[in-house]
Structures are given as C-alpha cells and as structure tokens.
Structure 1
Amino acid sequence: MTTATHHSSAKKPPLLTRALRRTMRGLPPARHDVAHEPGLVVPAADGSPLLTDHYFPLADGDFPTLLIRSPYGRGFPWAPMYGVLFAEQGFHVVLQSCRGTGGSGGEFALWQHEAADGLATVAWLREQPWFRGALGTLGASYLGYAQWALALEPPPELRAMVVHVGLHDLYGYFYSGGAFALENTLTSTMGLTSQHRGTRHLLRASLRLRRHLPAIGRTLPLGETYVPGLGGRVPFLEEVMAHPDREDAHWQGVDAGVAAERLTVPTSLITGWYDVGLDQTLQQYGRLRRAGCDAALLVGPWTHHSALQQGWPEVFAESLAWLRAHLCDDPSGLRGTRARVHVGGRQAWQDLPDWPPATTDRHWHLDGDGTLRTRPPEHPWAPVPFRYDPADPTPSVGGPVLSGKAGSQDNTALEARDDVLTFTTAPLTEPLDVLGPVRAELRVRTDTGHADVFARLCDVDPRGRSANICDGVLRLRPDDAADPAGSAPAAVTVAMSSTAHRFPAGHRMRLQVSGGAHPRFARHTGTGEPPATATRLRPAEVALQHPSRLVLPVADETTDETADETYARAAPER
C-alpha cells in the first residue's frame, strides 16, 4: 500500500503550484489529493547529487511511477503540469533537475550525461518502497531528449514514453539544413541558463535577450556579440558555434533518436505543425514504426509553446490515456487510429491509420513569369535572379520559432521585397488536401558558391493575404553551387517540413524562394567562414533556373463526409 504515513517528509505542494493548477481548465477531475516530498537527493552516475521532487497520490494503492528529468528547474510549469496533475490521476511523479541545474551537483554538459544519469535515477527508484516496477517517462523539449537518452539502454521497468514537442538530435536543432538557427538557439540557451534559477531570473534574462537581439543580428562576429544578450559567456553555446559540421567529433553520440530504431517501449509523440521539434518528432515516429514499436502520433495546430498552453487539454488527455493503457492496463481511453492530425484550412481533426498517409506526389512547375503550373513550361525560361545582401538580410516572418510571432503569419510585406521570389498558382477550382512532407526541387546558380536557399509554401486567400504553411532552408557549399562560367546550375532539394493543410477552392498556392530568414537563421555572410568568427560580409547573386518544381503530397480523393470514416475503418488494431 501507498499512504502519506509512509513519507515522513511529505507536505502539500507549494502554494503557488496549487494556485497555478487551479487555473488550468478543460482537464478531467482529480482522482486523489496530492502530497509532495521536495529536495530528495539522488546520486548521479558519478555520485553528483541530483535534486528530485516526488509527487504522489494521498491514497492506498500500487501506483505506477513517471520519471521527468529537466534542466529547466522543478518549478513552473513542470510542477503543476506534470507533478500535480499526474499525481492527481494516480501516478508517482519523480521530477528531477539535471546535473548542474536547479541545485543539482556537477556541471551541466549539453546532452553528454543524460543517458547515464537517467539510468542512475532508475537504480535509485528500485530502492524506494513505493516503487512497484512500472515506469513511464514524460516531458517536453529537452525533457524529451532526456527520455530518448534513457531509451538508448532502456531499463526493464520502462513500459511507456510520452514525448511532448521533443528533440532527439541537438545538432539538427542548432543547424537546420546546415544553417545556424540563431534566434531559436539563443532563446533556448537563455532558457537553459536561467529558467532553473526561477521565474524572475527567467523573465529578466528574456527581456535582456530581446533587448540585445537586434544588435546581435547585425554585428559580427557572433562569438562576441551574443555575450551581452545572454549576460555572459556560455561554454556549450560556444562549442555549438565552433563546430558547424555534423561530422565533427564534437557531435559524436548526439543523436539519441537512434534508440527508436530498436525500441520496444510503447511511445506517444505529440507535436505541432509550427513546433521547432516537428521534423524530429516525425523522424522519431518513422523510426519507431519501422522497428515495429507501438507508437502514436498527435499533431496539432500548435507552436512549441502553445502545445503546452492552448493545446494542453488535448495534450494532457492524449498523454493520460497512453500512460493508463501501458502502465495501468486500462486501454479504454485510447483512440482507434495511430495518428491524429489537425488539418489547417479545414480547421478539423482527422484520424489516420498511419503517418504519412497514402498520398500521391504532384508537381507544380515554376515558370519564369512567377507562376506555378501543373504542366511543365513548353520552353525553358530565362534565369530569375535575386541579390542576397547580408548587410540587409531577408527577414524572418512567423514559422517554428520560440520567440516573437510564431506560427502562421501574414507574409505580404515580406513578399514585396526584391530579394524574395514568388511563384503562384491560379485560384484553385476545388479544394486540395496536402498531407505529408513538402519539398522544392530547384536549379540554383550563385556567383560565390556560398548562399542559403530558403523555400516556403504559402496559402493565399482571395483578399491576397499570404499565410505561411511550412518551409525549410538549405545551405549551399561551393561544391553544390556552380559558378556562372558556363557550367550547369546545381540541382538541390529543399526539404520544407511536413504539413496537413487544405487549400480551399478560390485560394492560391505560393512558393517563396529567398536567401534566408533572419534572425531565425543567422545570415549567410557569403564567405564560408564559421558562424562564431565570421567578420566579413559579401553579397551573393543567386538565380533560379529551369527546370524547377514544387512537390506536394496530395491526399487521395475522398469527400469530407467520408474521410474520417474511411481512415477509421482502415486503422489497424493496437
């Protein structure tokens, strides 16, 4: 039995945590009152003390345990959202600060210690009288990375994982398509260095970074100009900037997602179409499915942050159902299909037997007059050039970012710039459903060999408002981009992430092509110098050439009324 009398140090959760819990709406009623053991000391792999809070139901029973390992502290938002909420539903919740954060001993080293420290924590759990051998993991963002690290050598007690907007490959996060993700990297570094110190410290750090970000974006070298924005030097960030090549030995072992290739632990993955971790979540799902692992996927109309805010009722319900099914032998809350996605344009949820669903790749061909056509142009068109000037970099608008205006935004002003090319269809005569990964297959020529190619799919409504749907960036190298002295242009593919979106009749589809999205990505200096030490700026002349095309995965034809029924019938049993 588990009762409060077995925990001499137990107390009520902190007043602020209880107050924040009461502000959460749209959640199931609590099954139990909750008690809290704060500041327990768990020995890390090398003996460093890891501070840990334990939340548990005030009731008799053999309750399963959830492990959450966080570098962001053990307070807001994790205490009310994970600690109290899941303990209310009948789980022991073990919320731990990663080494070097939140009062834990040792030194925080990005990703290197998570696997060993996770296993050491499970060894400690085995010694606790309330631990009954049924373990699940839970957590968002870097807390998701900590789960994948533990799954590299999953302990036998691990029976379920739930990853919210999570990452498994930190190199891929810092260098999307080879371009340095400046804004998101600075924002997440600010969170890693300040949030574990408390909400006030986080607020001050956030305001400081916001104040300094414009200067960081326009001043070189980045290895020096970032320092005022973060209040001092950050060793792990300097290591990130000093090693831009994935093949560098510095990144050995960074991809914890390889665990999914052999995992047998049932895993629920939750993300949003504008989440910074969307691509990695979909990669995780694909790896799990190929390995034959039981996996579920939920993708909502969310950003990295809004999934845990506006989307929290859906995220919590999905997570609770998965954990009850696999830790409590109660599958009653599971849905009947593996995947559920929110379809933009329809503004509706759709259940699917798997992701990506059955689709047909359809091609829209770029023409030199700025149109997108379903048929290839009859004649090759003349190159369409633009000049990318890093002294006046093409700005970023919306998309999967951690700060500022994330998500779908109005791109009209951006598309009026001379350094942004657009290619647009005629108004659609009938709705078009795009479900899956989008890509642009382009022929590109540059005069320097150094450039970024940023491609974005937009939905243009009848009033002319252009809203971004998905996008991607690719950093060209001199070996990729031919010089203009008579040689053929480089054939490149820009992966533009995935989407589930309906383009309604009367709307137009638009492809943007430009040389960057700043400060979301650090501007390409045009010299090939490393991002930390580059000091010179060189404009690049870039031209698109024939033949180039946009490739969209279009859903098999089916009516709105029968689509969900069709997918539900096709869904395999779990």
Structure 2
Amino acid sequence: MNLNSYVTQYLQKLPPPQTRDLAVERDLPVPVRDGAVLLADRWSPKGGGDGLPIALIRTPYGRAGTLALGAAKPLVERGFQALIVSSRATFGSDGPFNPFLCERKDGLDVLDWVVKQPWAGDSIVLVGASYVGYTQWSVADAVPPQVKAMVPVVSNATFTMAFNREGGFALETPFTWAVQVERQERRFANVRNALEEREILRAMRTLPLSQADVGLLGHRNSYFQNVLDHDGDGPFWQAADHVDKVADITVPASLVGGWYDLFLPNQLRDFQTLRRTSPDTPHRVTIGPWAHWAMAMDGLATREALEWGLALAKGETPPERAPVRLFVMGEDKWRDFPAWPPPGYEPQRFHLQPGGALAADLPGESTPDEYRYDPADPTPALGGVRMWTLQKYGRVDNAELEARSDVLTYTTPPLQEDVEVVGEVSAEIFFRSSLPYADVFVRLCDVDEKEKSTNVCDGLISLTDADSDETTCAAVQLWPTAYLFKRGHRIRVQVSSGAFPRFNRNPGTGEPRATAVTLRPADQQVFHDPARPSAIVLPIRRIHSEPSRPLRMPSSAR
C-alpha cells in the first residue's frame, strides 16, 4: 500500500488519483550555458507519461522528501508528469550557488532543454512555493510557448526587497534561510535544524552582526554577508530583481499567498501589475490565513495546479472564478472579489487619543506618550510574519507584548456594529526620538469580549538622520489584510520601536548594520494632538450602517 499517497490525499483534500503506480528517473543531467550541469528527477505514471503536461519545479531544496512526495507526486498521480531540477551547488548540481542571482539564466536554459526531450509534450506548468515560486518569476516574461500557466506560491518577483529594504532590515528571514540552506544536506537536517533553532536565535544577537554566521557556522556565509553589505534595491542584486519584467508576462498566473507571509505585499503588487498589463489573461490570486508554511496552503496550491493549471495545459477552460479570493479573518470565511484592492472599502482614519484611546475623532490638546527603547533588551517579535522558526507565528495572544513598558496601546470602545477591513493598511505616527536613528513599529489588533488581543497586521519603518528637536511623521505601511472586527470587539493599535529578531534591532547610532557594536537606548515620544494627529488608516466597509456615515462608537470609555 502506498501509504504516503493516501496520507497526502487526505491532508491536502485532493480527489482520488488516476494512478498511484509511478516511475522515477533520477539524476538526469541538464546542461546550462556556462558548462555547468544541473541534476533533475523525472516523475511519471509507470504506465507511460510521455507527452503529458509537465509540472516543472526548480528548487535549491533537493529532489526528494517533502518536495517530491508532497508537491510533485500528487500532481503526477492526477495527470501530470513532473521534473524536479536542483539549483546550482545543491544536491549534486554543479556550482557555485549564488542565491537568486543565477536563476534567470539557468531557468531559461532548463526550459530550452526540457522542450527538446523526447518525453516532452506541448505543455508545461511552472509550480512551487517560496524560492521555487521565485524561480518562476525569474523567467516568466521569456518562456517558450509550451509554458501554459504558472502557480507561484508565497513568492514574488524580487525576494531581496522583502527583507532588505530602505524602510527597515528584516534580519530573521535571510539569516535563518542562509543557515538552513547551508545545513540542509546533513543527515536528518530538518530535525537537527529544529533542535538548533535556539542557537540560531542567540546568534542573531551577535555584535557585530557580520560575525553572527561565523559564531554559528564556524565561517562566513557569502549569501548572508552579501545581504548585510548590499541594499535590496542596489546594483548588486539587480540580476535578482524581476519586478520590471512582470509587466511583460502573458502566461496565466495563479498566485497563492498568506496574510502572515513575508512576501505578501510584493506578491499583491505583482498581481496588480499582471491585471493592469494583461487584463484579458485569466490571472488570479488566493490569500488565506497562513504564514509562510501551512499544510492547508500546500493543498490549495496543489488543487490550483490540477483544477486550473492542468486545464490550461490541455487547452481547456478552467472552472470560472473571481480573480481575487480572500479568506476574511474574524469572519473566517472565503469571499470572492473582482479586484485588489477590492472596491467599496473607504479609507478611514482612527486617531490615537490621550489615555490610550482610539477614535475616528481628531484628538484634542494633549501631551505626548513616552516610552524608552533599549536595543540591549529589544521589543520582541511575537506571532505575525515569521519564517522557519519554532517561535509562534500568525495570530497569537498579544498580552505578553502589550505588558511591556516599551509598547504603547490605543483602543476603541466596544464596536456597535461589525466593521470589515479589506485592503491596504497604513499609519501616520507623529514621533520624536532622543536619537536621530529610530524605528517605528505599528501593529493592528482585535480585542475580543474577554480582553484577548490578537494581532491582525503590522509593519515597521526606520527613521534616519532625524532631528531630535523636531517631530517626524513616520509613514508606516502595514501588511495588507482582510479582517472582520465583530460587534462588541475593540480595535487596538500598538506602537513600539521594534520586533526582534524579525526586524534587526536599531542600535540608535547610525552605524552600518554589519559592523554596529554600540547599543544606545532612546527615549521615544508619540504625539496625538490637533497639530500632530497620529492615526492608523483602515479601508473599511460598515456592515450595518449607511456607507457614508462615520463609524459609530461611544464617545467615552476606553
């Protein structure tokens, strides 16, 4: 009995397969233009797979294990053949491995090789998640006509900008990913990585940060050092940035993402570009209540490849569906929309008020709230957007975070009607620091009748060269969301100066992130007065009131 096949079918909620009897050709050599040879495994039905649509998976994570059994095998059992190709310098392929920088040239060469194989038919579908999704974006504007569809999951056209950006340096993702990839070919790698995760978390506190990899691995990791030394939008990463090519993509794309995935904002940006530049192509996006990895998301991605991608590969019309399908948290239901951002949601400002209140009204005259941020004891990341970590992620109880003296909270009275927030969320925080270098972190939360505060979305911006005698308006772009705040619940906004190690702690000195060794505490002020009306801006639809009427809340009580 093929137990794995039955378990995967159950966990991913898949229809019964056409066959469970598969054949695998291993270590096929795939030459690329500079003479390197990449290794590939071909999966096909044992009864014969020649000419079937090809599910192409290009990956640095190996050709066996979860990727083969959970991603490729379910597709091959249901109408595809699959080719899994290992990236340079991983699992037998020639090197060197330069993450992100090598995928366009290698990807185009792999496609050129695939279409010439005697077992290839006339259709290819690009599939896969995370880095595997990025390999699709890297070539999608220049693919041969045999490529009929792409299903990039929790991915976007430029990974580096997701963590290495002007607005703030997201440390946890590149560091933990660099360590994972370097150690992934060890025996029992996944188990050992999990057991060693606390060591990884400790390593991210290393000063200077350029020694974090040395202390953990015993040597410098070139990828992590490159991330430290080169901004995401600089010339070094230009070969890894395919944003400008998205407008030239005509291949139908079905994007799958999560509200707590680190690539979500850029993924939705890519979707908007696709819809704008090729409106007649059946592009679609599906966003669920997930972080970067989730079994439910894997199943949905497999079903998209089968129900949508396979239909296009066969020249058939897939089942009709709205271009945008979103899981509305709070309501916990799937809903369809015609576009992103959806129409009908009007931006409304909720202003920070004295006494920790939050209201649609402008604040009155008041003194600013204050807190002290100490990078030696940085405000921790709790839940939310995390990747490859034993720490909590997604929606969690924020009581521990909100009890800290370096976190301010502002809360509405109980809502008198349901309030639905769907779209882009931003904040304008009038802020002053005793140091010219500081971060502003803003988090939106839902507080239920039992006073449990659960995070919805958040974001951070770094302020540089600010005049400590002047107030700065910090424009913070939070993660997009779809959330229903129920009647009787309260909307809360947190303001702090960090979320470590998701974002690197701000040392307050302006030193380069790679070499900073001095940590300076800062005294921070948040203003809420008529001249400096700090606010969060929510795209809302009122469920039980006239659209033009402002949100109804009691005028008093926090």
- Same topology, TM > 0.5: yes
Task: Supply the distance in 2 between the matched residues of 1:176 and 1:420 (Cα, whole angstroms).
Answer: 24
* Change in 2 beyond 3 A, CA 1:230/1:448: same
Q: 2:27 corresponds to which residue?
A: 39
Q: 1:375 corresponds to which residue?
A: 361
Which residue identity lines up with residue 143 of structure 2 in the other structure?
Answer: P
Task: Supply the distance in 1 between the matched residues of 2:179 and 2:303 (Cα, whole angstroms).
Answer: 30
* Change in 2 beyond 3 A, CA 1:76/1:274: same
Which residue identity lines up with residue 502 of structure 1 in the other structure?
Answer: L
Q: Is the 8 A contact 1:439 1:495 kept in 2?
A: yes
Which residue identity lines up with residue 88 of structure 2 in the other structure?
Answer: R
Which residue identity lines up with residue 373 of structure 2 in the other structure?
Answer: Y
Which residue identity lines up with residue 492 of structure 1 in the other structure?
Answer: A
Q: 1:392 corresponds to which residue?
A: 377
Q: Is the 8 A contact 2:415 2:490 kept in 1?
A: yes
- Does 1:422 pair with 2:404? no
Q: 2:221 corresponds to which residue?
A: 234
Q: 2:493 corresponds to which residue?
A: 511
Q: 2:454 corresponds to which residue?
A: 467
* Change in 2 beyond 3 A, CA 1:556/1:462: closer
Task: Supply the distance in 1 between the matched residues of 2:11 and 2:190 (Cα, whole angstroms).
Answer: 22
Q: 1:171 corresponds to which residue?
A: 160
* Structure 1 residue 205 displacement after superposition: 3.2
Provide Cα deviations, 1:435-482, integer angstroms capped at 9, x if missing partner.
01111111111221101111000000111111000000101111xx33
1:365 to 348, 351, 358: 351
Q: Is the 8 A contact 2:115 2:146 kept in 1?
A: no
Task: Supply the distance in 2 between the matched residues of 1:261 and 1:37 (Cα, whole angstroms).
Answer: 37
Q: Is the 8 A contact 1:65 1:135 kept in 2?
A: yes
- Does 1:451 pair with 2:451? no
Q: Is the 8 A contact 2:98 2:223 kept in 1?
A: yes
* Structure 1 residue 176 displacement after superposition: 5.4
- Does 1:312 pair with 2:298? yes
* Structure 1 residue 310 displacement after superposition: 3.1
Task: Supply the distance in 2 between the matched residues of 1:380 and 1:316 (Cα, whole angstroms).
Answer: 56
Task: Supply the distance in 1 between the matched residues of 2:382 and 2:306 (Cα, whole angstroms).
Answer: 35
SS of 1:130 mapped into structure 2: coil
* Structure 1 residue 326 displacement after superposition: 1.3
After superposition, residues 69-108 of structure 1 pair within 5 angstroms as 69-108=58-97
Q: 2:548 corresponds to which residue?
A: none
* Structure 1 residue 501 displacement after superposition: 0.4
Task: Supply the distance in 2 between the matched residues of 1:362 and 1:19 (Cα, whole angstroms).
Answer: 49
Q: 2:38 corresponds to which residue?
A: 50
Task: Supply the distance in 2 between the matched residues of 1:509 and 1:185 (Cα, whole angstroms).
Answer: 32
Which residue identity lines up with residue 257 of structure 1 in the other structure?
Answer: V
Task: Supply the distance in 2 between the matched residues of 1:301 and 1:62 (Cα, whole angstroms).
Answer: 37
Q: 1:193 corresponds to which residue?
A: 182
Q: TM-score, normalised by structure 2?
A: 0.91
Task: Supply the distance in 2 between the matched residues of 1:163 and 1:543 (Cα, whole angstroms).
Answer: 42
Comparing 179-188 and 48-57, the one that deviates more: 179-188
* Structure 1 residue 128 displacement after superposition: 0.8
- Does 1:354 pair with 2:343? no
Q: Is the 8 A contact 1:147 1:163 kept in 2?
A: yes
- Does 1:336 pair with 2:321? yes
Q: 1:268 corresponds to which residue?
A: 254
* Change in 2 beyond 3 A, CA 1:217/1:112: closer
SS of 1:77 mapped into structure 2: helix
* Structure 1 residue 236 displacement after superposition: 1.1
- Does 1:290 pair with 2:272? no
Q: Is the 8 A contact 1:145 1:256 kept in 2?
A: no
SS of 1:185 mapped into structure 2: helix
Task: Supply the distance in 1 between the matched residues of 2:395 and 2:62 (Cα, whole angstroms).
Answer: 31
Provide Cα deviations, 1:195-221, integer angstroms capped at 9, x if missing partner.
3x166123323422x132343243311
Which residue identity lines up with residue 250 of structure 2 in the other structure?
Answer: T
* Structure 1 residue 231 displacement after superposition: 5.2
Provide Cα deviations, 1:163-182, integer angstroms capped at 9, x if missing partner.
11113222222225632222
Which residue identity lines up with residue 153 of structure 1 in the other structure?
Answer: A
Task: Supply the distance in 2 between the matched residues of 1:16 and 1:79 (Cα, whole angstroms).
Answer: 15
Q: Is the 8 A contact 2:74 2:302 kept in 1?
A: no
* Change in 2 beyond 3 A, CA 1:461/1:230: farther
Q: 1:129 corresponds to which residue?
A: 118
* Structure 1 residue 288 displacement after superposition: 0.7
Which residue identity lines up with residue 473 of structure 2 in the other structure?
Answer: A
- For structure 2, which runs of at least 5 residues remain unmatched after alignment? 546-558
SS of 1:226 mapped into structure 2: helix
* Structure 1 residue 74 displacement after superposition: 0.9
Task: Supply the distance in 2 between the matched residues of 1:363 and 1:22 (Cα, whole angstroms).
Answer: 46
* Structure 1 residue 16 displacement after superposition: 9.3
Q: Is the 8 A contact 2:134 2:155 kept in 1?
A: yes
Task: Supply the distance in 1 between the matched residues of 2:519 and 2:352 (Cα, whole angstroms).
Answer: 30
* Change in 2 beyond 3 A, CA 1:97/1:20: farther
SS of 1:85 mapped into structure 2: helix
Q: 2:129 corresponds to which residue?
A: 140
Q: TM-score, normalised by structure 1?
A: 0.89
Task: Supply the distance in 2 between the matched residues of 1:18 and 1:52 (Cα, whole angstroms).
Answer: 22
After superposition, residues 459-498 of structure 1 pair within 5 angstroms as 459-478=446-465, 481-484=466-469, 487=470, 489-498=471-480
Q: Is the 8 A contact 1:427 1:507 kept in 2?
A: yes
Q: Is the 8 A contact 1:136 1:327 kept in 2?
A: yes
- Does 1:111 pair with 2:100? yes
* Structure 1 residue 387 displacement after superposition: 1.3
Task: Supply the distance in 1 between the matched residues of 2:189 and 2:315 (Cα, whole angstroms).
Answer: 42
Q: Is the 8 A contact 1:450 1:540 kept in 2?
A: no
Task: Supply the distance in 2 between the matched residues of 1:176 and 1:342 (Cα, whole angstroms).
Answer: 28
Q: 1:534 corresponds to which residue?
A: 516
Provide Cα deviations, 1:250-296, integer angstroms capped at 9, x if missing partner.
12233223322121110000011111221121111111111124311
Task: Supply the distance in 1 between the matched residues of 2:234 and 2:52 (Cα, whole angstroms).
Answer: 45
- Does 1:322 pair with 2:311? no
Which residue identity lines up with residue 83 of structure 1 in the other structure?
Answer: A
* Change in 2 beyond 3 A, CA 1:508/1:92: same
Provide Cα deviations, 1:503-558, integer angstroms capped at 9, x if missing partner.
00010000101000111111111111122211111112221122111100013657
Q: Is the 8 A contact 2:125 2:313 kept in 1?
A: yes
Q: Is the 8 A contact 1:454 1:473 kept in 2?
A: yes
Q: Is the 8 A contact 1:212 1:228 kept in 2?
A: no
Which residue identity lines up with residue 137 of structure 1 in the other structure?
Answer: L
- For structure 1, which runs of at least 5 residues remain unmatched after alignment? 1-11, 560-574
- Does 1:28 pair with 2:15? yes
User: What do you get for the CA RMSD once the two structures are aligned?
Assistant: 2.1
Q: Is the 8 A contact 1:115 1:152 kept in 2?
A: no
Q: Is the 8 A contact 1:264 1:294 kept in 2?
A: no
Comparing 403-412 and 319-328, the one that deviates more: 319-328
Task: Supply the distance in 2 between the matched residues of 1:319 and 1:504 (Cα, whole angstroms).
Answer: 35
* Structure 1 residue 105 displacement after superposition: 0.5
* Change in 2 beyond 3 A, CA 1:198/1:299: farther
Which residue identity lines up with residue 490 of structure 1 in the other structure?
Answer: T
Aligned pairs, how many?
534
